[in-house]
């Protein structure tokens, strides 16, 4: 495992910063995400499936982005979150990659006083020993696996698919990658945790024991504290090849993103999903 602290200071972000519609953003202003580019992109919705073009064939990179931990109270705020991340992600896309975004469903969330909001599964508490929605997590993972299976049936090799996301979406991506029977190209896990970690037996991962993982976390995250990231990376080291895990932390970053993180994501994608001649 490579642990690489970001020595350049990232400006503090709003604690509700989030990627697109699936991040549940409770503040009235837009998330403060670095505007890397304003060029047109294929990003939509709140999670992303990226597909590369290879002649007549498509080679996808699948990233499931996040539901966060706060509710977007109005459609206007939800739209603001979506467009904020679309602009930021536009700056890291590669010309051979297309991004498509599935949406988390609306459901009552215990932590949100049982009010309905976009969420992949229920969130009951915010401590390492909190009860988890095992049924909901497994159901959400099966939905992601169905997306992967459909792409494979369409002729897309599973080893050209990367799962990833922010907050709850990153958690779902990690869990899915460790339980799928499809060999994947990698995982991008941003400001998140490994759900149901006690259910994983050491070394019992299956086809993705060598999967590359980029895990990123802000050292000032008040919603999903850095401790969650540290516990997750230690658990991952016992399950997959530690040499394939990169854990990056960002000084001053809260539950949001920064330019350094976006560039790390781009480098990871470019390395593990290069163009095919």
What is the residue-wise DSSP string for 119-147?
-SS----SSTTS---HHHHHHHHHHHHHH
Task: Report pLDDT for 45.
Answer: 29
Helix (H) or strand (E) holding 226: helix 226-237
Question: How many distinct structural domains can be found in the chain?
Answer: 1
Q: Indicate whether 189 belongs to any domain.
A: yes
Task: Report pLDDT for 65.
Answer: 37
Which candidate in 217, 221, 256, 257 is catalytic? 221
C-alpha to C-alpha distance for 171 and 123, rounded to whole angstroms? 12
Which candidate in 67, 167, 173, 256 is catalytic? 167
Tell me the average confidence (pLDDT) per consecutive run of 10 residues in the chain, 277 residues long: 44 37 26 34 30 33 38 35 56 75 87 93 90 96 93 88 89 95 95 93 81 98 96 95 97 94 94 87
Q: Indicate whether 141 belongs to any domain.
A: yes
Residue 219 among the catalytic residues = no
- Across the beta sheet with 162-166, the strand order is 2-6, 245-250, 213-218, 186-190, 162-166
First to last CA, the chain: 31
With beta carbons less than 8 A apart as the criterion, state whether 216 and 191 touch.
yes
Which candidate in 80, 255, 264, 272 is catalytic? 255
CA distances from 126 to 1, 212, 231 (A): 26, 27, 14
Residue 167 among the catalytic residues = yes
- Helix (H, G, I), strand (E, B), or coil: what is residue 189? strand
Residue 34 CA to its chain's centroid (Å) = 18
Tokens of 89: 């992600």
Instruction: Identify which of 39, 36, 43 has the alpha carbon closest to the alpha carbon of residue 20.
Output: 43
With beta carbons less than 8 A apart as the criterion, state whether 110 and 53 touch.
no
C-alpha to C-alpha distance for 240 and 170, rounded to whole angstroms? 17
Task: Report pLDDT for 56.
Answer: 32
Task: Report pLDDT for 2.
Answer: 46
Residue 221 among the catalytic residues = yes
C-alpha to C-alpha distance for 48 and 64, rounded to whole angstroms? 5
Q: Indicate whether 100 belongs to any domain.
A: yes
Q: Which residue range(s) make up the domain with 15? A: 2-272
CA distances from 160 to 33, 90, 147, 193 (A): 28, 20, 14, 24
Q: Indicate whether 277 belongs to any domain.
A: no
CATH number at residue 44: 3.40.50.1820
């Amino acid at each position: 495992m490579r642990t690489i602290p970001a020595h350049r200071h990232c400006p503090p972000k709003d604690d509700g910063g989030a990627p697109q519609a699936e991040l549940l953003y409770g503040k009235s202003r837009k998330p403060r995400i670095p505007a890397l580019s304003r060029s047109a992109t294929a990003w939509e919705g709140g999670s992303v499936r990226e597909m590369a073009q290879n002649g007549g064939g498509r080679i996808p990179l699948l990233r499931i982005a996040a539901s966060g931990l706060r509710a977007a109270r109005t459609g206007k705020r939800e739209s603001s979150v979506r467009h904020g991340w679309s602009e930021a992600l536009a700056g890291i896309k590669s010309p051979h990659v297309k991004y498509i975004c599935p949406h988390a469903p609306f459901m009552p969330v215990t932590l949100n006083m049982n009010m309905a909001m976009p969420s992949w599964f229920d969130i009951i508490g915010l401590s390492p020993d909190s009860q988890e929605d095992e049924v909901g997590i497994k159901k959400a993972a099966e939905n992601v696996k169905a997306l992967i299976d459909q792409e494979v049936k369409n002729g897309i090799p599973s080893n050209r698919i990367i799962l990833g996301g922010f907050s709850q979406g990153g958690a779902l991506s990690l869990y899915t990658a460790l339980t799928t029977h499809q060999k994947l190209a990698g995982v991008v896990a941003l400001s998140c945790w490994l759900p149901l970690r006690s259910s994983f037996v050491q070394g019992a991962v299956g086809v993705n024991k060598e999967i590359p993982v980029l895990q990123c976390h802000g050292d000032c995250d008040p919603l999903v504290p850095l401790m969650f990231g540290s516990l997750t990376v230690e658990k991952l080291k016992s399950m997959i090849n530690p040499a394939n895990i990169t854990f990056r932390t960002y000084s001053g970053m809260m539950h949001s993103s920064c330019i350094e993180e976006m560039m790390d994501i781009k480098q990871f994608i470019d390395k593990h999903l290069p163009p095919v001649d």
